[in-house]
Amino acid sequence: MQYRSIGVFDSGVGGLTVARAIMEAMPGQDIIYYGDTARMPYGDKPPEEIMRYARQIIEFLIGRGVGAVAVACNTSSAIAVPVIGRDFDVPVVGMIECGAAAAAEASRSGRIGVIATANTVRSGAYSRAIRGMRPTARVVEQACPMLVPMVERGEVSGPDVRNALSEYLQPLLEANVDTIVYGCTHYPFLEAEIRAMAGASVALVDPAIKVASAVKAAIGEDGSRQTGLPSFVTSGDPSAFAELVSTLLGWKMQEVEHVNLDAIGAHAGEGDMLGRPDRA
């Protein structure tokens, strides 16, 4: 699998936190990132739609020659990966097991909070996975429906963000959790505000590092390559996507490809090229 790209996808820009972790862990690998911004958010959509979206995107990425896919979306990881994850000829790595393992390791008391989308919370995936690794754990899951739209607007601080976080974090802090798992890849962009509210004694767990390690173990890496190339695809507005990535991560996006899988089919290989990205 050496020199084959790694596919990463999310409903929007949140999965870029996973792409960044993979790029840091495997600097010689090329990355193809698909942000499904035209159909986001996934957090309140029916499970059958989530599975259809995930299958479409994974098939698209495989068509682009990837050697592994990181499902950098907790909603898709909770709902689709257990059902369709073994249907493909390349490794498919989800967020849930990785996040659960990191939380089980980080927690001193076994009181663990999970903040996630409504669909991820309804699935109970994190509770099952954490208790599978740490049976005595007490897991408190909290749906946070307002957070993804805020991040997708580039709103990662300020009074509206703090008000939303106050509502969502209060039940976890009242339960005396000592660890909070980011059950959505968008939430690391809110870490400064979450840290200020949770306090220094609460461990904040981003599953992205564990996901990067799992992808590296699955695909391997040729150390002779010093720098891989990222490429970016979105189902939504390429210019808006590029601007948001620049705002959140500081990467200068010269070009983003537009591919609407509903319009052209799951095996689409052609899109409207707006150029090739590079990083600041």
* Residues with catalytic roles: 73, 184
Distance CA 154, CA 260 (A): 23
Looking at residue 46, the DSSP 8-state letter turns out to be: -
218 in Cβ contact with 68 (< 8 Å): yes
Beta bridge partners of 34: 9, 233
Distances (CA, A) of 57 to 51, 72, 80, 84, 270: 10, 12, 12, 12, 14
Closest CA to 183 of 125, 244, 133, 106: 125
Q: What are phi and psi of 114, to 5 degrees?
A: -130, 125
Closest CA to 154 of 93, 242, 238: 242
**Chain centroid offset of residue 30 CA:** 18
DSSP H helix total and E strand total for the chain: 13, 11
Helix (H), strand (E), coil (C) string for 64-113: CCCCEEEECCHHHHHHCHHHHCCCCCCCEECCHHHHHHHHHHHCCCCEEE
Tokens of 77: 């990881």
Share of the chain residues as helix, strand and coil, in percent rounded to the nearest 5: 45, 15, 40
